[in-house]
Amino acid sequence: MVLSALTHRAAKPIAHLLCALPLAWLIGAAATQGLGANPAEALIRSLGDWALRGLLLTLAITPLRVQFHQPALLRFRRLLGVWTFAYASLHLLAYAWLDMGLGFSDIARDIAKRPFILVGMLSFALLLPLAATSFNRAVRWLGGKRWQALHRLIYLIPFSVCLHFWWMRAGKNNFSDPFFYSALFALALGWRLWRRWQRQAA
């Protein structure tokens, strides 16, 4: 039953709709002044949180696919990756526009002054080539092996993203969310190391 639901022609449109719902809610909340006393900060952080969740879900596809014997889950990995990049791009745009007024010299100074901004920019830079080569023509152009090698960058991104999150929360001494997401990323990456060790041992 699960397999038939995942392979149904409506599954991907529904997945796109679910991924778009947080963005729709944020737009509605911003339009109705429902983001609290500091709407710009709430919007920036919420978009960053959804980019983080999207990255985690993208990395969770393979462990879930293997452990629950659901190969059809692979159909959603690229979709989740594209939505992750969309939320990360909006997070960056909201910071540059709402926080810095699109003043590029101010942004440059902020990057130099605050390490968590620098690490966040690095995370986005690592996402860029993955998003740019997320379509089928890029796979054919690069070749399967080179495409796979490039997309292994995704395993570096959790480290920079978690560091960005930890440093950002350090100012308020609030580490509960960074610890939670770091633990989930560690599980997703640790599972891959465990599988590689199993294959080598076999």
Instruction: Estimate the share of the chain in helix, then strand, then coil, as percent rounded to the nearest 5.
Output: 85, 0, 15
Rounded mean pLDDT of the chain? 90
**Rounded Cα–Cα distance for residues 190 and 138 (Å):** 29
Higher pLDDT, 200 or 57: 57
pLDDT computed for residue 109 by the predictor:
93
Question: Which distant-in-sequence residues (6+ apart) come within 8 Å of 119 by Cβ?
Answer: 160, 163, 164, 167
Which two structure tokens, joined as six digits, stand for 190?
A: 């640790």
Write out the residue range of the structural domain in which residue 194 sits: 2-201
Phi, psi for residue 103 in degrees, rounded to 5 = -85, 100
**Rounded Cα–Cα distance for residues 63 and 89 (Å):** 26
Helix, strand or coil for residue 68?
Answer: coil
- pLDDT tens digits for 109-158? 999 899 999 999 999 999 999 998 888 888 788 887 888 888 888 899 99
Cβ-based neighbour number of residue 123 at 10 Å: 26
Measured at the CA of 157, the angle between CA 151 and CA 163, to 5 degrees, comes to 175
CA 140 to chain centre: 25
pLDDT computed for residue 151 by the predictor:
84
Phi, psi for residue 10 in degrees, rounded to 5 = -85, -5
pLDDT computed for residue 93 by the predictor:
96
Which two structure tokens, joined as six digits, stand for 170?
A: 């350090």
Burial of 44 (0-12, 13-18, 19+ CB in 10 A): buried
Domains in the chain: how many in total?
1
Phi, psi for residue 114 in degrees, rounded to 5 = -120, 110
- Please tell me whether the overall predicted TM-score, pTM, comes out greater than 0.85 for this model: yes
Question: What 8-state DSSP symbol labels residue 154?
Answer: G
